[in-house]
């Protein structure tokens, strides 16, 4: 039987959204022999490629090198001021992004066998979608992967002043502002605050919560706050923006904290106050798919209220990471192919990394979460100022903290803060997921000198707790006897 023409006949899977979740789902489907259609209203690659992970990490890489040169004396070199142009740094970022773009392009996915449609899609029935050019597609299964967009809070006056979000700043900031105000002290806000400061821009960061990175370990948050202060970033925590206005070239924000009301100003404004799901205009009501302000409602198998319609990626939550979107897409592929024994998503060991300098990497429980959930735990910590590789590289700001079940070596959570923390953390993640405790990590040979050897060092601290007074007395007796 010949393959139906593009857009004709029934597809095994019709995917709406070509971010990570949609790309993995469609490619996986055709790779296993199915017929897939992929519909994208904007840019292939979604947030990660265009407005998130890729461009931000490219800027971070440049900013980190600039800072390294700025403090060359820490490496035994003569102090020097780095020579750079703001515009060139952003130009490099766009070139790095362009180099990756072909991985997610229409041409590549068409070459894989996916029928790609560019346009906005909406359900006209539970088994049919219509693209805004009038094309209608039918499918056995559908996958909603429309992601999220920047949340702009309804703060009085905000709509009257110019501002950026992560979706505009990479392509629309063409020259360095003298100063920038950043709303939001989560990962996006913190990463941008440090990048802009290192590029010579005065930075003020406003965060409503009582600390930066409120979902991360409190010690890591404090370390980042100190680094920001050392670099000259003005941080306003426990502070709420209540009104905005424009005066000449400056945006004026009225803010409130425990001390009352005041005003702060900057030339540019970046809003990084969270994300909101792209559920509008999808015809979810016509499809009978339930959704809320948090996104499309799914069960643990990522099935919506319609058994043949799935959702994955940011639109489905509970996390908004590229790696969880990839993970969920793989589950959806399996559940569409083998629907009688559906796999369930397990978020016990979801890692995340904030790419500040130093990085903050996390998996499992933090101390705050453990206490909130009444989980009895022990905590083991090793600071990088005593780690040989960190000392040789002049990168001693950081630590590794591992939480275990009370009285045992089973890992329940970990935070690594430091240079390349996101890479170091994965050994702990794999160990935790597969039931490898600190005893085995301690007895595993680690190459010297490496940053990862900090894992062995913190595991050694657990081993020392096993040396009880009774055991110590027995060992002392054995040594004394052998001397005799």
**174-212 pLDDT, tens digit each:** 999 999 999 999 999 999 999 999 999 999 999 999 999
Residues 357-373: tens digit of each pLDDT: 999 999 999 999 999 99
Instruction: Tell me the average pLDDT of the chain.
Output: 96
Q: Which two tokens stand for residue 273?
A: 């106050």
> Higher-confidence residue: 475 or 430?
430
- Interatomic CA distance for residues 459 and 91, integer angstroms: 44
Residue with tokens 């407005």: 51
Q: Residue 209, Cβ neighbours under 10 Å: how many?
A: 15
Give 479's pLDDT tier (boundaries 50, 70, 90): confident
Residues 242-267: tens digit of each pLDDT: 999 999 999 999 999 999 999 999 99
The average pLDDT across 416-432 equals 97
Q: Give the pLDDT score at 1.
A: 59
Q: Give the pLDDT score at 481.
A: 86
**Residue 394 contacts residue 408 (beta carbons within 8 Å):** no
- Identify the structural domains of the chain with CATH numbers, from first to last: 10-150+276-337 (3.50.50.60), 158-273 (3.50.50.60), 358-463 (3.30.390.30)
CA dist 411 to 193, 376, 387, 441, Å? 33, 12, 22, 11
Q: Give the pLDDT score at 4.
A: 86
Q: Give the contacts of 132 (CB within 8 A, at least 6 positions apart).
A: 119, 120, 121
State what percent of residues in the chain have pLDDT above 70: 100
The average pLDDT across 42-60 equals 96
Residues 268-296: tens digit of each pLDDT: 999 999 999 999 999 999 999 999 999 99
Whole-prediction pTM value?
Answer: 0.94
Q: Give the pLDDT score at 476.
A: 87
């Amino acid at each position: 039987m010949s393959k139906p023409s593009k857009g004709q006949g029934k597809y095994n899977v019709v995917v709406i959204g070509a971010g990570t979740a949609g790309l993995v789902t469609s490619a996986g489907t055709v790779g296993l022999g199915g017929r897939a259609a992929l519909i994208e209203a904007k840019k292939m690659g979604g947030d990660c490629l265009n407005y998130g992970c890729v461009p931000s990490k490219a800027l971070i890489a440049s900013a980190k090198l600039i800072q390294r040169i700025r403090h060359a004396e820490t490496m035994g070199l003569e102090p020097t001021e780095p020579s750079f142009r703001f515009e060139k740094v952003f130009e490099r970022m766009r070139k790095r992004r362009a180099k990756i773009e072909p991985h997610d392009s229409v041409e590549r996915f068409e070459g894989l066998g996916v029928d790609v449609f560019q346009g906005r899609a909406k359900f006209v029935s539970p088994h049919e979608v219509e693209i805004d050019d009038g094309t209608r597609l039918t499918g056995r299964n559908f996958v909603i992967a429309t992601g999220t967009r920047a949340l702009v809070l309804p703060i009085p006056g905000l709509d009257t002043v110019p501002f950026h979000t992560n979706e505009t700043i990479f392509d629309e900031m063409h020259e360095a502002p003298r100063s920038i105000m950043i709303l939001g002290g989560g990962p996006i806000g913190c990463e941008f605050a440090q990048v802009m400061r290192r590029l010579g821009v005065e930075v003020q960061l406003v965060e409503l919560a009582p600390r930066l990175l409120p979902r991360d370990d409190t010690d890591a948050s404090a370390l980042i706050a100190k680094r920001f202060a050392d670099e000259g970033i003005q941080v306003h925590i426990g502070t709420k923006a209540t009104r905005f206005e424009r005066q000449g070239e400056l945006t004026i924000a009225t803010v409130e904290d425990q001390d009352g009301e005041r005003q702060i100003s900057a030339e540019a404004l970046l809003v990084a106050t969270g994300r909101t799901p792209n559920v509008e205009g999808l015809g979810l009501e016509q499809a009978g798919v339930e959704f809320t302000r948090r996104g499309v409602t799914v069960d643990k198998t990522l099935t919506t209220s319609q058994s043949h319609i799935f959702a994955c990626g940011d639109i489905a939550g509970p996390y908004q990471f590229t790696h969880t979107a990839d993970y969920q897409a793989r589950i959806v592929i399996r559940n569409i192919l083998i629907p009688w024994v559906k796999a369930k998503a397990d978020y016990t060991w979801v890692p995340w990394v904030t790419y500040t300098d130093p990085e903050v990497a996390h998996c499992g429980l933090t101390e705050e979460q453990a206490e909130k959930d009444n989980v009895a735990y022990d905590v083991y910590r090793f600071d990088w100022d005593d780690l040989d590789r960190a000392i040789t590289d002049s990168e001693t700001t950081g630590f590794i903290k591992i939480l275990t079940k009370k009285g045992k070596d089973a890992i329940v959570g970990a935070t690594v803060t430091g240079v390349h923390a996101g890479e170091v953390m994965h050994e702990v993640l794999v160990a935790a997921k597969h039931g490898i405790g600190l005893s085995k990590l301690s007895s595993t040979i680690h190459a010297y000198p490496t940053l990862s050897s900090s894992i062995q060092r913190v595991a050694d601290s657990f081993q020392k707790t096993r040396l009880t007074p009774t055991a110590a007395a027995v060992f002392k007796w054995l040594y004394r006897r052998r001397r005799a």
